[in-house]
């Protein structure tokens, strides 16, 4: 719903701009930013680094889970013979391990998101720079991103600038 409202708002601004600036011809273009980023070789390298970090995090979580399961198993074997104080101590230890696992999972997810943003920021900046350069060189008034669903209508005069941007970046 938000995307629809945002798209409607953008379309009405563009329409209003056409009425107000009726004398000045406006040139519109669009690009699928997702497709552009996927075509950039730097994206593959960044994605591989993100996947490597994710595997490292998964490995640590797996180790922690194995430790937890071993302690649960050991407790189950001796639970009936233990005193109430010993039972409470072992249960508290298991709860602590569970809490550590959950905390690590949250921290790992945040770390992964930060690393992804850090690795992809220069790639996105490079792509945006190329889009801006192509738009300026070719006299575009607006470039819309069709990759995020912001375009509600594409007329016959709309130009996909993806090939121009790829050429600017030296991509095939």
Q: Is the pLDDT of residue 20 over 60?
A: no
Residue 11's pLDDT is what? Answer: 52
Q: Which domain holds residue 75?
A: 2-169
pTM of the complete model: 0.70
Question: How much is the pLDDT for 142?
Answer: 82
pLDDT class of 1 with cuts at 50, 70, 90? very low
Give me the residues paired with residue 29 across strands. Answer: 143, 159
Whole-angstrom Cα distance, residue 35 to residue 28? Answer: 19
pLDDT digits (tens, 9 = 90+) for 122-155: 999 999 999 999 988 988 888 888 888 766 566 6
Reported as a single tens digit per residue, the pLDDT across 41-97 is: 999 999 999 999 999 999 999 999 999 999 999 999 998 999 999 999 999 999 999
* Number of domains into which the chain is organized: 1
Tell me the two tokens of residue 22: 């009726």
pLDDT in tens, 146-161: 888 766 566 677 788 8
Name the residue among 169, 165, 137 with its Cα closest to residue 27. 137
């Amino acid at each position: 719903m938000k995307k629809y409202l945002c798209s409607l708002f953008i379309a009405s601004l563009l329409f209003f701009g056409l009425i107000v600036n009726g004398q000045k011809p406006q040139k519109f273009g669009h690009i699928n930013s997702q497709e552009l980023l996927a075509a950039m070789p730097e994206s593959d390298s960044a994605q591989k680094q993100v996947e490597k970090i994710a595997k490292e995090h998964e490995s640590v979580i797996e180790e922690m889970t194995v430790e937890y399961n071993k302690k649960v198993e050991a407790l189950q074997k001796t639970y009936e013979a233990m005193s109430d104080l010993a039972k409470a101590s072992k249960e508290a230890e298991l709860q602590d391990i569970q809490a550590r696992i959950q905390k690590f999972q949250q921290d790992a997810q945040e770390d992964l998101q930060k690393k992804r943003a850090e690795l992809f920021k220069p790639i996105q900046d490079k792509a945006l720079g190329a889009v801006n350069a192509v738009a300026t060189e070719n006299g575009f008034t607006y470039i819309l991103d069709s990759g995020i669903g912001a375009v509600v209508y594409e007329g016959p005069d709309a130009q996909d600038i993806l090939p121009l941007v790829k050429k600017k970046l030296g991509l095939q």
